[in-house]
Structure 1
Amino acid sequence: MIAELKNKIIATQNKDSEVVISVEEVSKKFCRDLKQSLFYGVQDIATDLIGGRRKSQYLRSGEFWALKDVGFQLRRGEALGLVGANGSGKSTLLRIISGLIKPDTGIVKVKGRVAPLIALGAGFNPILTGRENIYANMSILGLPTKKIKKLFDDVVDFAEIWEAIDAPVQTYSSGMAARLGFACAVHIEPDVLLIDEVLAVGDVKFKMKCHQRLAKLREKGTAFILVTHNPHSTLNVCDSAIYLKKGQLIQSGESEVIIRKYEEDLCLNGVGSTTGIMVLPRKQNDDLGLDILSLSFRDEHNHVLPHLLTGEPAYLCVECIAHKPINNTNLGVQIKSLSGENDLVLYLTSTSDQCKLKIPRGKVEIRMKMPYCGLVPGVYTSKIYLRDGIRTFDSVEAFRFTVKANRNTSKCLFYQPREWEIVLK
């Protein structure tokens, strides 16, 4: 009896640690010139026909490596994020794993049923109705007709398109096609789910439904590979991640570490500023009466901060020159996450805080004190403006800065200061 129990435990552990995707030194090359690409294609076919051997490990004139010697493993129930800028090879890697294209070198081993959500609705026939496309799409993904009939109502309920189910897909909006594509893929309960930016489509309600469904699938052992430019999606869904840059694997590890490495590279490559101060040229026309001279973040000792620290105090300092006294000035700050989906993270104005700024003539510095920085580590861009009730005196469209952390803020959207205590009753 005890031996049987041990065997069941071992079998369960082996199943949980089972490798479902193994990518070994995979490379893929493309040619940017269409005519040259067609010529190479004919050349490769001719080589195969005469039993020759392709020299796939070498680049020909005009070719480039979209992927170069990439390798990793994905186990059952794990979620892996692919991080990198556009053109880094993320979508190419997903297409190779899904079998849509073949690698030039290397081996990809996939165990079980794979559902690629690389482009929702891309596999639909626009002339066929939604009902017909459900049967066609789920059949391609490996389900028999009898099983599809049982799942049909659940698929349409999830997609919420009963009123249009018998209309041609070409009459659907992009959101409707996206919902139907996602519903088809998740209801086959695949062993591996490949997701490429598809969680960015649809309304908030549909996104919540998608995440709930993905969580249930993962509990049942489905493994995920997720591509998204929203770092919070990667942090909340994926335990680990790999960072691709120009087709090469730069780093792999815990998702938080990889996201921070990617964001730091964004700054180092000139996307953001790490100096902590931005000096603006003097304006030739001073008719408006108030000009911004410099922007910076400073500490309590007036030292310029090269970056902000999550949970630590800081001052936003706006140095300006007033050509005449101005009694009612409004300072506005709009902050967006540069590495996310460009959504507004924070919007502050002195007017909304019922603070009327009276600016005297001459050079002044407006300071906004932050008792703590509530932004989580990342790269941000801010728009800062000065205006009164009628006109804008001056504005800076892109003041970029970085936020780092000396504490654990994993999977947070913002930092909440707190204190802990035990109260005796």
Structure 2
Amino acid sequence: MTINITKPEVSDKSQDSEIVLSVNGVSKKFCRSLKRSLLYGVQDITSELLGSRTKSDKLRPNEFWALKDVSFELRRGESIGLVGKNGSGKTTLMRIIAGLIKPDTGFVKGVGRVAPLIALGAGFNPILTGRENIYANMSILGLSKKEIDEHFDEVVEFAEIGNAIDAPVQTYSSGMLARLGFSSAIHTNPDILLIDEVLSVGDAKFVAKCERRLHKLRENGTAYVIVSHHSPSILSACQSAVYLSHGEVIASGNAEKVVNQYEADLFNDGRTQASGVMFRDERTSDESPGLDIVSLFFRGNDDEILQALVSGKAVKLCIGIKSHQKIDNVNLRLAISELGGEGNSILYIGGSNDNKFFDLLPGKYEIQIHLPYLVLGPGTYSMYLFLRKDSFYTLDIVEPFIFTVNSNGKMIKSKVYQPRSWELVSIEAE
């Protein structure tokens, strides 16, 4: 599946000349058995040396596809996000793009210098000093000694290593190692930057400095491939995204749509999406206690019946009822819990608490509860609803009513939606 990313306004170069990364039908398999993996490795190396290795598109015993037929293109100055659960193949794909491992099928074509920000500091030699590791690390990334000499002071200053630069890196903290690795990579002025969950490399002040530098690189034409479980980071930095699951592309294209689908799957945890709509057969007056619930669903702003809700959107909870006789002081009580959770109510609404009682004559009605903002986060929920006369006499019950809430793209770390508005207020104009 090919990702078509909108080209920004650039010079009069042709569109194809702006493509800096092309991933074409890339697949990679691994073996679950260590002994078999070593055996297959020896067989593959031998076949490659003899020139007899054939296309490796079939699984051998105990093998599985870590990636299967992944394709996309990236142009200069653009960025694409990779999302998916742990084990979905994101890091494997990044390592293939970086040239650290070979694909079994397909190929990757890159233009210019590639700088992988993957497991920062992992390639440093612990017995060498920070200075020696900078030269070794940046030379691996393609810089000459002269170029490293020119950038050396900038690398040290950015990493905030100070006098520790001439101490063995085995004496460094993990944060110091990460900062030095990050600084070494970004000062190579790469054409393609691979970012794999590595922006938490220090305190908030240092992270902000890293983000400013990344923004400057992108303005100068550096293209990004970003892996992150933090959806806002993908949405703020990427035009497009690829959603991977078990090595296969589930969705691709517009970043917001892809992230929304990923979050929906993540929060629903593989459960089938609930319909969120219920209709009951009507009972006769002899079968009824006098008042029955005949329907239950949500409506949107256009009064359409919703199959699923969206966090933060306005909705109406609609309860259809049929009264067989005159009944006074009718009210509703409902409790909403996470499906599969501990059973504790997240949201409780009671007509008696809101002093909302209805006097009914025989006929059909729809009680509507208007929710200007749906505060529930993404997930699947169960609702228990009680139709009462006064505060204690129960007329009818719905237990449980299952419905789904989808993400609005801003809920990855929130269980509830907080309505808000923004305003810039001038305190003192010059």
TM normalised by structure 1 equals 0.67
Distance of 1:215 and 1:237 partners within structure 2: 9
Mapping for residues 256-275 of structure 1, pairs under 5 Å: 256-270=256-270
Change (3 A) 1:219 1:124: same
Greater alpha carbon shift after TM alignment, 44-53 vs 230-239: 44-53
Amino acid at match of 2:200: A
Q: Is the contact between residue 29 and residue 66 of structure 1 (CA under 8 Å) also seen in structure 2?
A: yes
Partner of 2:420: 416
Query: Structure 1 residue 310 and structure 2 residue 277: aligned?
Result: no
**Correspondence 1:13-52 to 2 at 5 A:** 13-14=13-14, 18-52=18-52
Find the residue that maps to 2:86 and give its secondary structure: coil
Assess if the C-alpha contact under 8 Å between 1:266 and 1:272 holds in 2: no
Q: Note the alpha carbon deviations across 1:227-264, whole angstroms, 9 max, x for none.
A: 01000100011111111111111221111111001111
Aligned to 1:344: none
Show the counterpart of 1:73. 73
- Aligned counterparts of 2:275 and 2:15: Cα–Cα separation in 1: 50
Shift of 1:318: 7.7
C-alpha contact 2:378 2:411 (8 A) present in aligned 1: no
Give distance in 1, aligned partners of 2:299 and 2:55.
59
**Contact preservation (8 Å) 1:299, 1:305:** no
| Aligned residues of 2:378 and 2:405 also touching (Cα < 8 A) | yes
1:58/1:160 Cα in 2 relative to 1: closer, same or farther (>3 Å)? same
Q: Which runs of 5+ in 1 are unaligned?
A: 1-8, 277-296, 321-332, 336-347, 349-356, 358-368, 382-399, 420-425
8 A contact 1:274–1:402 mirrored in 2: no
Deviations 1:248-285 (A, max 9, x none): 11221111111001111224434799688xxxxxxxxx
- Determine the C-alpha separation between the residues in 1 that align with 2:248 and 2:28: 11
The match for 1:147 is 147
Partners of 2:422 and 2:160 in 1: how far apart?
42
Contact 1:26-1:106 at 8 Å conserved across structures = yes
- Offset at residue 309 of structure 1 (A): 3.6
DSSP 3-state at the match of 1:82? strand
Contact 1:135–1:148 (CA under 8 A) maintained in structure 2: yes
Closer, same or farther in 2 for the Cα pair 1:418/1:196, shift >3 Å?
closer
Q: Which residue is equivalent to 1:181? A: 181
Instruction: Give the CA deviation at 1:145.
Output: 1.6
The sequence identity of aligned pairs, in percent, is 56
Structure 1 residues 412 and 74: alpha-carbon distance in aligned structure 2, compared to 1, 3 A threshold: farther
CA contact (8 A) 2:263 2:412 kept: no
What residue identity is the alignment partner of 2:139? S
Verify the 8 A CA contact 1:89 1:247 in the aligned structure 2.
Answer: yes
Deviations 1:387-423 (A, max 9, x none): xxxxxxxxxxxxx973445xx979999653489xxxx
Q: Which residue of 2 aligns with 1:294?
A: none
Q: Which whole-Å deviations, capped at 9, do the CAs of 1:359-407 have from their partners, x for residues lacking one?
A: xxxxxxxxxx9753478x85599xxxxxxxxxxxxxxxxxx973445xx
What is the rounded CA distance, in whole Å, between the counterparts of 1:148 and 1:45 in structure 2?
A: 35
Do the aligned partners of residues 151 and 41 (structure 1) sit closer, same or farther apart at CA in structure 2, a change above 3 Å counting?
A: same
Give the whole-Å Cα distance in 2 for the aligned partners of 1:410 and 1:13.
40
- TM-aligned CA deviation for residue 54 of structure 1: 2.9
Deviation, 1:205, is 1.2
Question: Does the 8 A contact of 2:380 with 2:404 survive in 1?
Answer: yes
Which runs of 4 or more aligned residues in structure 1 lie more than 6 Å from their structure 2 counterparts after TM superposition?
297-300, 408-414
Give 2:143's aligned amino acid.
Answer: L
Query: 8 Å contact 1:20–1:112 — kept in the other structure?
Result: yes
Instruction: Indicate if the aligned counterparts of 2:24 and 2:108 stay in contact, CA closer than 8 A.
Output: yes
Do the aligned residues in 1 keep the contact of 2:82 with 2:90 (CA within 8 Å)?
Answer: yes
Give the alignment partner of residue 405 of structure 2, picking from 402, 405, 412: 402
Q: Give the gaps of 5 or more residues in structure 2.
A: 1-8, 277-296, 318-332, 339-345, 347-352, 354-369, 382-402, 424-430
Pairwise CA distance, 1:44: 1.6
- Deviation of residue 126 (structure 1)? 0.9
* AA in 2 matched with 1:22: S
Secondary structure of residue in 2 paired with 1:14:
coil
Are the equivalent residues in 1 in contact too, given 2:114–2:193 (CA < 8 A)? Answer: yes
Question: Given residue 263 of structure 1, which amino acid in structure 2 is its aligned partner?
Answer: E
Question: Separation in 1 of the partners of 2:412 and 2:219?
Answer: 19
The question of whether the paired residues in 2 share the 8 Å contact of 1:84 and 1:90 is answered with yes
Give the C-alpha shift of residue 306 in structure 1.
Answer: 5.8
Counterparts of 1:299 and 1:253, CA distance in 2: 29
Give the deviation of 1:45 after TM superposition. Answer: 2.3
Question: CA offsets per residue over residues 330-377 of structure 1, 9 Å max, x none?
Answer: xxx9x9xxxxxxxxxxxx9xxxxxxxx9xxxxxxxxxxx9753478x8
> Do 1:29 and 1:64's aligned partners in 2 also have CA atoms closer than 8 Å?
yes
The RMSD of aligned alpha carbons is: 4.0
Name the residue aligned to 1:195: 195
CA distance in 2, matches of 1:46, 1:171: 41
User: C-alpha separation between the residues in 1 aligned to 2:134 and 2:380?
Assistant: 42
Q: Secondary structure at the match of 1:165?
A: helix
| Aligned-pair CA distance for 1:155 | 1.0
Counterpart of 1:236 in structure 2 is: 236
3-state DSSP of counterpart to 1:193 = strand
User: Residues of 1 paired with 2:193 and 2:148: CA distance?
Assistant: 19
Q: Quote the Cα distance in structure 1 between the aligned partners of 2:271 and 2:170.
A: 39
From the superposition, tell whether residues 305 and 163 of structure 1 become closer, same or farther in structure 2 (CA, over 3 Å): farther
1:328 paired residue number:
none
Could you say which residue in structure 1 is the equivalent of 2:373? 372
Alpha-carbon contact 1:272-1:401 (below 8 Å) kept = no
Separation of aligned partners in 2, 1:214 and 1:127? 30
Q: Distance in 2 between matches of 1:418 and 1:208?
A: 22
Amino acid at match of 1:256: E
CA deviation profile, 1:175-217 (whole Å, cap 9, x unmatched): 1111111111111110000011101332211211111111100
1:94-173 matched pairs, under 5 angstroms: 94-173=94-173
Please tell me the residue identity of whatever aligns with 1:87. G
Return the alpha-carbon distance in structure 2 between the equivalents of residues 157 and 52 of structure 1. Answer: 51
When the two structures are aligned, how many residues end up with a matched partner? Answer: 329
Report the counterpart of residue 394 of structure 1 in structure 2: none
Local SS of the residue matching 2:81: strand
Larger Rg: 1 or 2?
2
